[in-house]
Amino acid sequence: MLTLADRYQQVCRTPSDIYEHLPRFVALVDELDAEHVIELGTRTGVSTVAWLHALDGRGRLTSVDIDSRPDIGDYEHWTFIQGDDLDSDVVTRLDPADVVFIDTSHLYEHTIRELNVYRHLVKPGGRIICHDTMLERPEGAPARPRFPVMVAVNEFCAAENLRWTNDAKCWGLAEIHIP
């Protein structure tokens, strides 16, 4: 049976739409001395494995997805909630976190709503991380706006007077700094 560290090494070596960002997740947990991460969107569990590895022995991960739990094993420091991340019944079950990672529909309206709702669950000094800033047109998205995640992040940060950075590789990763 693979250990969590083994699983992490495996997902880091396996090309995917996010694998180049996984070491950043681990580094971010270390930098922030994070004790709790909220992950919105799990799909097959690649990012989930990275967050679990980073938090092993130091904190916990709470994942939310409308689809069923990924088959990546059971971990005491992981809670999976199946549901809509914007449903108030789901949001009220969540504790404040050092990091909120958003990787869901990538639609502009949904992303801007997530940013506005989940900003209030990020502890001071924490981060909101959004994947797919460099995805021009997500599946099922209207033609406009192009790069909907990046547009949502730009507008949210301008309205909230927040600073953010973007790592363009592997479909892009925004890191929003919460004061």
Question: Over the stretch 30-67, which tens digit does the pLDDT of each residue have?
Answer: 999 999 999 999 999 999 999 999 999 999 999 999 99
**102 pLDDT above the threshold of 90:** yes
pLDDT tens figures, 59-95: 999 999 999 999 999 999 999 999 999 999 999 999 9
Count of all residues that appear for the chain in the document: 179
Closest of 69, 62, 72, 19 to residue 37, by C-alpha? 62
Q: What is the CATH number for 80?
A: 3.40.50.150
Cα(60)–Cα(18) distance, rounded to whole angstroms?
21
Q: Supply the pLDDT for residue 2.
A: 87
Q: Supply the pLDDT for residue 140.
A: 85
Query: How crowded is residue 34: how many other Cβ atoms within 10 Å of its Cβ?
Result: 23
pLDDT tens figures, 106-164: 999 999 999 999 999 999 999 999 999 999 998 888 889 999 999 999 999 999 999 99
Q: Supply the pLDDT for residue 64.
A: 98
The predicted model scores a pTM of: 0.97
Q: How many domains does the chain have?
A: 1
Q: 69: domain range?
A: 4-177
Residues 6+ apart with CB under 8 A from 18: 46, 47, 103, 131, 170, 171
Q: What DSSP state is assigned to residue 95?
A: P
**1 pLDDT above the threshold of 90:** no
Q: What is the mean pLDDT of residues 13-37?
A: 98
How many separate helices (H) and strands (E) can be counted in the chain? Answer: 6, 7
